[in-house]
Amino acid sequence: MINQPTPWGTGLTVAGFVAAVTGVAVVVLGFGLIRVHPLLAVGLNVVAAGGLAPTLWGWRRTPVLRWFVLGTAVGVAGAWLTLLTLTALGAG
- The per-residue pLDDT for range 61-86, each reduced to its tens digit, is 898 899 999 999 999 999 999 999 98
**In the predicted structure, residue 1 carries a pLDDT above the cut 80:** no
The model's pLDDT over 22-63, given as tens digits with 9 standing for 90+, comes to 999 999 999 999 889 889 999 999 999 999 999 999 999 898
In our burial notation (b when 16+ CB lie closer than 10 A, e otherwise), range 46-64 reads eeebeeeeeebeeeeeeee
Q: Cα–Cα distance between 31 and 21 in angstroms, integer?
A: 15
Written as one letter, the residue type at 64 is V
Spatial contact of 27 and 45, defined as CB atoms under 8 Å apart: no
Q: How far is CA 70 from CA 11, 16, 40, 75, 79, in A?
A: 9, 9, 26, 8, 14
DSSP 3: P
Instruction: Output 27 or 91, whichever has higher pLDDT.
Output: 27
Please tell me the predicted confidence (pLDDT) of residue 91: 66
The whole-chain average pLDDT of the chain stands at 91
